[in-house]
């Protein structure tokens, strides 16, 4: 049975759960669209119009979410490597191009990432306590 294209609901859910800022999404899409090119922190900072510190934070967060890979070299470079998610990434890219305003509003409407991380930690703690009882 052929794999179906991801729905807009799946794209929206991904944005809600995995993407903290518009530059996070743009970095992910730049890496996907330019694969197999490896990007340095400086190159990504230039492309996103952010500082190198912000670029590094974004790239490291995407690595932690298993969305991209760090080369492990010094200096670090980052790539999109997973062909497993190509169909989803194609749909995400298309949705971003067609529905940019809606997606950016959705991202901006989310709580700041520090609050989201606190909520995730609390949810994890709460889930673990439920397992004990």
What are the tens digits of pLDDT across the range 61-84?
A: 999 999 999 988 888 999 998 777
Are 35 and 44 in contact by the 8 Å Cβ rule? The answer is no
Q: Give the chain's mean pLDDT.
A: 83
Alpha helical stretches, state H, 99-132: 100-109, 113-132
Exposed/middle/buried for residue 73 (C-beta within 10 Å: 0-12, 13-18, 19+): exposed
Whole-number Å distance between alpha carbons of 87 and 75: 31
Q: Which residues have a Cβ under 8 Å from the Cβ of 110 and sit 6 or more positions away?
A: 16, 20, 116
pLDDT over 70 for what percent of the chain?
77
What is the distance between the alpha carbons of residues 94 and 12, in angstroms, rounded to a whole number?
Answer: 13
Q: Is the pTM above the cut of 0.85?
A: no
Which pLDDT value is given to residue 79? 96
| Domains annotated on the chain, with CATH | 8-132 (1.10.10.10)
What pLDDT, on the 0 to 100 scale, is given for residue 116? 55
Give the number of other Cβ atoms within 10 Å of residue 58's Cβ: 25
3-state secondary structure of 69: strand
For residue 126, what pLDDT is reported? 47
Contact partners, residue 79, CB within 8 Å, separation at least 6: 31, 35, 36, 37, 38, 39, 68, 69, 71
pLDDT digits (tens, 9 = 90+) for 28-45: 999 999 999 999 999 999
């Amino acid at each position: 049975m052929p794999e179906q294209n991801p729905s807009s609901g799946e794209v929206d859910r991904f944005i809600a759960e995995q993407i903290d800022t518009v530059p996070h999404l743009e970095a992910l899409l730049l890496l996907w669209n330019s694969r197999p090119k490896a990007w340095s922190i400086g190159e990504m900072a230039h492309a996103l119009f952010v500082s190198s510190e912000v670029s590094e934070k974004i790239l490291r967060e995407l690595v932690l979410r298993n969305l991209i890979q760090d080369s492990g070299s010094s200096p670090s470079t980052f790539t999109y490597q997973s062909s497993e998610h190509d169909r989803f990434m194609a749909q995400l890219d298309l949705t971003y191009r067609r529905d940019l305003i809606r997606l950016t509003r959705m991202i901006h409407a989310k709580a700041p990432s520090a609050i989201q991380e606190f909520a995730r930690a609390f949810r994890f703690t709460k889930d673990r306590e439920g397992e004990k009882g």
